[in-house]
Amino acid sequence: MKLIIDTDPGIDDAMAIAYAAAAPEIDLIGLTTIFGNTHVHQSSRNARYLLHRLGLDLPVAEGAHLPYGADTYQPSDFVHGPEGFGDLTDIPQIGANHDLSAAEYLAETARQHKGELVVCAIGPLTNIADAMRLDPEFAGNLKRLVIMGGAVYCPGNITAQAEANIYHDALAADEVFATPPETVLVGLDVTLKTLYAPGDFEALASISPDMGGFLRQISQFYLNFYKQAGGLDGCGLHDSTAVIACTHEPMFETVETGIRVDRHGDGMGATRPDTSRPPVRVCTGVDGAGVVRLFTDRVTTLR
Ligand code: RIB
Ligand code: CA
C-alpha cells in the first residue's frame, strides 16, 4: 500500500513513522509536514532527521505554518518538548525539503498514483484542505484518507470537547469533512485504548538499541506529561494507531456518519456526528493490546 504521512513530529509521530518504515505492507513514499506539536520548520527538520536515522531517502514536502484564519501559532511545547522531540534539542538539519509544498506534493502524487495512494494525516488538517482547494480531483484520486483526530463519542484532550489535531485548525478540518474523500477517522475514541507504557519502551530499546533507544529517549518527556496531566502510566499510541488502521482494518470497529466540526466558540474543534454530511468511517472500537503488540513486533525489526 502506497502511503504518504502528513505529520507534525512530534514524539508519537516519530513512533508512527518508524512503524511505517518497518511494516512490510507499507510502501512509504514520502512525508508532508505541518505545524502542530511544533512549528512547521521544526516538523520538517525532525522528519528529515528521523528518515536519516531510519536509513530512508524519501521526500519531505513542507506545508502550512499557520491554521486557517490565524496570523500566529504557538505550539503546546509542554507536551512534545521545545523542539518536538522531548528533551532533545539542537537536532541537526539533514538534507533539504522537497521543492513542492505539501499541498502540491499531495495533489501531484495522488494524481500520479490515481486510486492507489493512502494519505495518513496525523497532525492538523491544513495541508489536506489546501490540497483539496488546489486540486478539486485530489479527494477522488485518493484510495483513502486516514485521519488521526477527533473525539466523536468521548471527551477531548486539548479541551473537554476537542482533540488536538482537529482543534489546531478547526476551519480546515470542517472543510475536509464537508466533502471528504473515502475517509477513516481514528480518534481518541480508540487511540486512548492503545497506551504504550515505560516498560514497553524499555523492551523496545533492548531489542532495537538504535531506533528503539531513540524512541525511548524522546518519549520520556511525553510519558511524564501523561503521568502529570492524566495520571496515566503510558502514552497514547495515537499516530501509530492511525497508521495501523491503514492496513489492519479488522482490528477496528467503525460506524458510518457525517462529521461537522465546531469552527468557533467553547466547543471549537469538537467533532460532532451530522447525518446531513457525506459519511466517513469513525473508529469506535479497537483491539488495543493487538495494536500495541503489532507496533512492538514491527518496530523491533529495526536496528
Ligand atoms: O491528539 C493527539 C494528536 O495530537 C497526535 O497526532 C499527536 O501527535 C498530536 O499531534
Ligand atoms: Ca501528530
Structure confidence by residue, pLDDT tens digits, 131-177 = 999 999 999 999 999 999 999 999 999 999 999 999 999 999 999 99
How wide is the angle at C-alpha 157 spanned by C-alphas 164 and 62, nearest 5°?
20
One DSSP character per residue, 119-153 reads: EEE-S-SHHHHHHHHH-TTHHHH-SEEEEE---SS
pLDDT of residue 142: 98
pLDDT of residue 220: 97
Ligand 1 centroid from CA 141, angstroms: 26
If we measure between CA atoms, which residue out of 34, 78, 47 comes closest to residue 173? 34
pLDDT of residue 276: 98
Chain mean pLDDT for the chain: 97
Ligand 1 pocket, Cβ-based, cut-off 6 angstroms: 8, 10, 12-13, 36-37, 122-123, 148, 157, 163-165, 238-239
**Block residue for cell numbers 488536538:** 164
Low-confidence ranges of the chain (pLDDT < 70): none
**Block residue for cell numbers 500566529:** 72
pLDDT of residue 274: 98
pLDDT of residue 196: 97
The domain total for the chain is: 1
Residue 71 structural domain: 2-299
CATH classification of the domain holding 224: 3.90.245.10
Examine residue 10 and say whether the peptide bond preceding it is cis (omega within 30 degrees of 0).
yes
pLDDT of residue 279: 98
Q: Is 248 in the active site? A: no
pLDDT of residue 160: 97
Phi-psi region of 66 (alpha: psi -120 to 50; beta: other; left: phi over 0): beta
Q: Which residues contact 190 (CB under 8 A, 6 or more apart)?
A: 241, 252, 283, 284, 285, 286, 288
If we measure between CA atoms, which residue out of 37, 58, 35, 38 comes closest to residue 48? 58
Strands 271-273 and 183-186: unpaired
Could you tell me the maximum CA-CA distance found in the chain, to the nearest angstrom?
51
- Three-state DSSP class for 261? strand
pLDDT of residue 234: 96
Ligand 1 atom at minimal distance to the Cα of residue 164? 1
